[in-house]
Structure 1
Amino acid sequence: MSDRDELIDAIVSAIDADPGARPAAPLIGALTPWRPRNIHSYAVDLGPVIEVRVVATLLPLPPMYTRLTSAVRALLTGTPWEHTELRLVVTELDAAAFTASPTGRAESSPADPSVSTPEGEDTEPKYSNGTPKYSNGTRRSHDLSDQ
């Protein structure tokens, strides 16, 4: 294994260690006759510009970007790529990112039971001025029952 391959593996490991990202590997069909040794190594290109492709699993993106940039820069220290431009590319946003907490785990607790809507109170979404969001004359499907 070359120094280049070891560096790529170390970068992939750094991505795997971050709770907000995973390596963005290309899709390989089930009928592909060969399998690469480490499919995730395709998420990293070492060249005139180092490009690292990731799937974001947490929001917001800037903290993940800062953590990964620091981790990859630390791995590049002392290598021929130490001063090379680093490009971190978020290729996908995992749907779980919208439901995950900042700890990286999906929110599974129910809504706060102490907060409830009094019976009969209007729960329709409204704009800040109090105008219903559905004021264009359309009715939502659950509203059709009282016709």
Structure 2
Amino acid sequence: MTVADADWWRARLTDEEDVLWSGRPDQGFFPLQYGWVYKVFLLALAVLWLVSPWMLESVREFWKLTSVTLLLTFTLWADQFVRSQRVYVVTSQDAWTLNKKLKSKALKIDRFLSFTTGRRAVVFNRHPFFRFDHLSDPSAAFSALLQAQEASK
């Protein structure tokens, strides 16, 4: 990936905005927050495939198992793809969730904006569909948000 490809999101910001922090969600195949759930489900699915010749009695049951396997594979790929196309940015005026291929979201930073840091996430209270998820260091984003909020007063 070239530098121009890594900074595609900078063109979406205005010149008046100073970038205080930018970060990306974890890029692994399994997000760390839910990774154990995926791994347990994959193990159960593998065991089901191993015992399927003795358990499945019809072709219809085989296709159900195949459909569940394909659905899980697509879900894992789609989740990883969406995370790979996302960048979180805190500017002097806004908090951004920028997506390369999907719709981006912005949230105005003012003194009334309430946010907390959780385990691997920054949660914006009263904005349930806007959050910075799967962060390796949510405290850096939190401190940048505090800095932007102090500057807006």
Provide TM-score, normalisation by structure 1: 0.24
More strand by share: 2
Q: Which protein has the larger Cα radius of gyration, Structure 1 or Structure 2?
A: 1
